[in-house]
Structure formats: C-alpha cells, structure tokens
Structure 1
Amino acid sequence: MSAAAARRDIADRDDIAGLVAEFYRRAFADEILGPIFVDVARVDLFTHLPVMGDFWDTVLLRTGRYHRNALRPHLALAAEVELTDTHFARWLDLWTATVDERHAGARAELAKTQATRIAGSIRRRILDA
C-alpha cells in the first residue's frame, strides 16, 4: 500500500481542525514565519484556530461558517512588517507539506489548490499595491 493510499481525504471538521492545528504548530516554530505570527501579529491560537477552522470548513466543505474578510488582517499585518515573496512561499510550502503528510484525495488537493489561490491573491493585494 502506498503512503498516499494509507492517508484518507479530508472528510469533516475534525480533520480540518487537526490540519489547521498542525499547520500553525509548524508555522509558529518556523524560523521565517514564527516571528511574524508570534512577535508581530501576536496570534492567540485559542481564538485563531476556530476562526481558521471556520475558514477552511467553508472552503473545503462549503459550510458557510466563515463570515469575515480574510484580506483585512493581512493588510493590517503588512502595515506593521514587510511581507515578502519569501513569507508567502514559506506559508504555502508549510501548508502543502502539512496537507500531504496528513491527507490524500480530492479535498486534500482542493486544500492545496485553494491555498495557492488565496496566497497569490493576498500577495498581489499586498506586494503589488
């Protein structure tokens, strides 16, 4: 059995919660992203993880739980620190690696595709402004 066959697709909120929590564990520990999340944005995971769960729930499961403007906090962050292509690429690399290690299937592929689109869109709004 291949490694991909041993992993199952993203099926529900519990899968999304685990994926998001693992991604942020890695991002907080990352030498490139960690200082942004911890020192600049001062992300409180207790409040942030459920919001990100709602976001990815809406993107992947179409639950409609996320009702915020995803660009707004990134614009505020960009006003405090210079965000670069390196930051966006690292975010996407960490997300993709986390998805690939935990899941395989149509929704896992959608999670990576949508992350690429979202990162690209936010990056363009911040860096090309």
Structure 2
Amino acid sequence: MNSSAAKFKHVSEYGIRQLVDAFYAKVRLDPELAPIFERAIPGDWQPHLTKMYAFWSSVMLTTGRYKGNPVVKHLVIPGIQPPLFERWLALFDETCRELFEDAVSEEFRSKAERIAESLKLALFYRPGRPWPPEQAP
C-alpha cells in the first residue's frame, strides 16, 4: 500500500495480514534483522507468518487465536541482542504508519513497544550480572 492509497481506519483480520506480510517483507531485506531471522526461519516463512497473524489478532482484537510462548521461542534464537528490538520497532512502526490511520497505527505501536519491553526483560534482564555478558579470556 503506497502513501497515496487509503489507509485502514480500523483493526481487522485483513489489515493484520497486510501488516504482518509487509513488515516481514521489510525484515527479510533489513541488514540488521535479516540475518537473525534467516537463521531462525531458514525455510518456509508461511508457518511463522500464520503464527504472527494469530498473535496480532489476539493482541489487537482479543481473539485468543494465538497459542504459544514468545519468550521460549526467542530464547533459542542465536544472535538476538537488545539493540535489535529498536530496529524491529522502527520497521514495525514504519509499516503501521504506511497501512493504518494515525490512531490505529499508534495503537499497534503502543502494544508493540510493551511487547518488546517485556521480551527484552524476559530474555536479557539478569540482576547482578553485567550486560552484555563478559567474554571469557
């Protein structure tokens, strides 16, 4: 959807699919995120996209369609680092702004920021241990 096209005024399953597809198309081209995602999803992306449709449907429309544990999934991703969340959020926000009117885009952004913060805390917060972890000599 280009900037002159009409933007979605409400959250819908169709809009969520458009967002997820457009966002992950950008992720796959992004120099920072693409290598991480390609290692985590080396083959067919459709199962991941389908899971993300259900995830965002559950978050935005409270459908309860998503059944999973994002923390467990992200714990096993090699190379994931806290700064990558900022890049993820920037691309996600950019895509939301392209597809949705401002109020809807803001609703997605707000939820995405809370989700990212929760994931970062679950993945990286270790009281009493420095971050990044010190490398053994």
Q: TM-score range by the shorter chain?
A: 0.7 to 0.9
User: What displacement does 1:32 show?
Assistant: 0.1
1:109 alignment partner in structure 2: 106
- Unaligned segments of structure 2, at least 5 residues: 127-137
TM-score normalised over the length of structure 1:
0.86
The amino acid that maps onto 1:127 is: F
- 1:33 matched residue in structure 2: 33
Identity of aligned residues (%): 34
- Matched positions, count: 122
Q: 1:8, 1:105 within 8 Å by CA — same for their partners in 2?
A: no
Q: Report the Cα distance in structure 2 between the residues aligned to 1:63 and 1:34, rounded to whole angstroms.
A: 29
**Distance of 2:85 and 2:24 partners within structure 1:** 15
RMSD after superposition: 1.8
Map 1:25-104; keep pairs closer than 5 Å.
25-38=25-38, 40-42=39-41, 44-77=44-77, 80-81=78-79, 83-104=80-101
Q: Is the 8 A contact 1:10 1:108 kept in 2?
A: no
Q: What does residue range 9-28 of structure 1 map to in structure 2 within 5 Å?
A: 9-28=9-28
Unaligned runs of 5+ in 1: none
Determine the structure 1 residue equivalent to 2:116.
119
Q: CA deviation at 1:10?
A: 3.7
Q: C-alpha deviations, 1:17-72, integer Å up to 9, x for none?
A: 0100000000010000000001x202531111111000000111111101111211
The whole-number CA distance in structure 2 between the counterparts of 1:60 and 1:108 is 11
Cα drift, residue 127 of structure 1: 1.8
Q: What letter matches 1:76 in structure 2?
A: V
Q: How far apart, in 2, do the equivalents of 1:50 and 1:42 lie?
A: 13
Q: CA deviation at 1:126?
A: 1.5
Instruction: Say which structure is richer in helix.
Output: 1
TM-score for the superposition, normalised by structure 2: 0.81
